[in-house]
């Protein structure tokens, strides 16, 4: 833990980054957030603003034309965007999720082919692991890739894919050895949007994050050049789990941002609203609620930043801290947004204020990139020294 202590007090460049992202978020993303949610449309204004500033995929290494942001910096970017629009915060979050397998295990040829367009903002990346009957139980996936000469033939489907249809590239997990040992028979591939036989289904109708399309992917005998494989055959599931160890921290950062936005609005409201001849912020019951909200939010933020430090160092205990950060921050975000709606009373239940949207958006942070029940399993198995299968 000692090596992580400096991250509890942000360095000047991280503080400057927060200020820069907050300005973009408040001026160029927040004005469209309610309409993006109401129309369930992709936040093109946010995408353009983030690409112009280099915040759409800040994690891409400088060697490939990216910003080379460290894990903490990427979390700060996502946190600040989520503070005003959770859907928009999925632009950098999903780009990292989709491309991190290449950064961790891809060949130099693959990285040179796919990371520069991502860094330039001319292309986006998504991640395809889950299936209808293979959510938490990822090893039971049915999607297959069969070797055929100098190609792999990919068939099957993936479900709940964030930014599907928007992204040009997809990291797809598929079984390549049906008779192999469970968990060691899966491989990862890059699929391009233009590949023949690859189609994207209709967007899901969701409770929240409506500006980020979530769709099914269908692979009907998609021929992939053999060099599209990421890493060695059979290592895909291990790579997927390694990826999630890092990227679920970005979901924790998203949850912190949503919670901060909700607290900000609640604080402003209770200092304006009057009942019984005084501002409701003067009532002790309200003050206790606000104190609890802020206390839990700061605890969540510090846990996220510690996990980000461990992600940057590829620390051996990252699986525990990544799971803990995601689980605690998302549970906290759900609690804080519900309390924020309560503090606004009837006004909080209407679309005149963003609290009901934030409450709806917060819920998904407890579900995607591993439900919080799965996060608790990951933590327990880390404590007990039991490998996650």
The verdict on whether 369 is a catalytic residue reads yes
Catalytic residue, chosen from 80, 216, 356, 369, is 369
Measured at the CA of 139, the angle between CA 138 and CA 143, to 5 degrees, comes to 85
Cα distance between residue 227 and residue 236, in whole Å: 15
- Residue 8, token pair as written in the block: 């509890």
Beta carbons of 26 and 42 less than 8 angstroms apart? no
Q: Does residue 216 sit in helix, strand or coil?
A: strand
Cα distance between residue 72 and residue 253, in whole Å: 9
For 205-233, b where at least 16 C-beta lie within 10 A, e where not — what string?
Answer: ebebbbbbbbbbbebeebebeeebbbbeb
The DSSP result for 282-334, as a single string, is GSHHHHHHHHHHHHHHHHHHHHHHHHHHHHHHT-TTHHHHHHHHHHHHHHHHH
- Active-site residues, by number, are 369
């Amino acid at each position: 833990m000692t090596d992580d202590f400096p991250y509890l007090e942000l360095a000047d460049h991280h503080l400057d980054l927060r200020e820069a992202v907050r300005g973009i978020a408040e001026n160029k993303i927040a004005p469209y957030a309610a309409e993006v949610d109401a129309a369930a449309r992709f936040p093109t204004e946010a995408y353009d603003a983030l690409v112009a500033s280099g915040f759409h995929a800040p994690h891409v290494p400088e060697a490939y034309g990216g910003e080379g942001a460290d894990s903490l910096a990427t979390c700060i970017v996502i946190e600040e965007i989520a503070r005003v629009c959770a859907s928009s915060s999925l632009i950098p979050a999903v780009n990292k999720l989709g491309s991190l397998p290449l950064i961790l295990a891809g060949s130099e040829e693959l990285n040179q082919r796919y990371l520069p367009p991502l860094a330039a903002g001319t292309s986006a990346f998504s991640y395809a692991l889950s299936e209808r009957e293979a959510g938490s139980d990822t090893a039971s996936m049915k999607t297959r890739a069969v070797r055929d000469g100098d190609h792999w033939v990919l068939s099957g489907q993936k479900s709940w894919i964030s930014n599907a249809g928007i992204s040009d590239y997809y990291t797809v997990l598929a079984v390549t050895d049906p008779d192999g040992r469970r968990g060691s028979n899966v491989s990862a591939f890059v699929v391009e949007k233009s590949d023949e036989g690859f189609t994207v289904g209709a967007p899901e109708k969701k409770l929240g994050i409506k500006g980020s399309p979530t769709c099914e992917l269908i692979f009907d005998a998609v021929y992939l050049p053999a060099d599209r494989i990421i890493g060695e055959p059979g290592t895909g599931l291990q790579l997927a789990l390694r990826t999630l160890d890092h990227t679920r921290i970005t979901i924790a950062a998203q949850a912190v941002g949503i919670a901060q936005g909700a607290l900000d609005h609640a604080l402003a409201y209770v200092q304006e609203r009057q009942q019984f001849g005084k501002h409701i912020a003067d009532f002790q019951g309200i003050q206790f609620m606000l104190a609890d909200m802020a206390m839990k939010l700061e605890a969540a933020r510090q846990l996220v930043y510690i996990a980000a430090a461990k992600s940057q160092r590829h620390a051996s205990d990252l699986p525990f801290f990544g799971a803990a950060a995601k689980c605690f921050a998302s549970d906290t975000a759900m609690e804080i947004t519900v309390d924020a709606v309560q503090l606004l009373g009837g006004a909080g239940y209407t679309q005149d204020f963003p609290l009901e949207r934030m409450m709806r958006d917060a819920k998904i942070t407890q579900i995607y990139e591993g439900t919080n029940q799965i996060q608790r399993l990951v933590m327990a198995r880390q404590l007990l020294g039991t490998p996650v299968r």
